[in-house]
Amino acid sequence: MKFKSSITLVLTLLVFFSCARNPFTGQSTLAIVPNSQLFPTAFAQYNQFLNENKVITGTKEAEMITRVGQRIAVAAERWLNAHGNQGYLNDYKWEYNLVKDETINAWCMPGGKIVFYTGILPVAQNEAAVAAIMGHEVAHALANHGQQRMSAGMLQQVAAVGMNVALKDDKNLALYNQAFGIGSQVGVMLPFSRGHETEADKIGLILTAVAGYNPRRSC
Q: Which residues are catalytic?
A: 137
Q: Is 187 exposed, middle or buried (0-12, 13-18, 19+ CB in 10 A)?
A: exposed
Q: DSSP for 190-201, please give it.
A: HHHHHHHHHHHH
Which residues, at least 6 apart from 18, have a Cβ–Cβ distance to it below 8 Å?
30, 31, 32, 151
What does DSSP assign to residue 108? E
> Is 143:28 a contact under the CB 8 Å cutoff?
no
Contact 29, 146 (CB under 8 A): no
Reported residue count of the chain is 219
CB of 131 closer than 8 Å to CB of 218: yes
Contact 82/106 with Cβ under 8 angstroms?
Answer: no
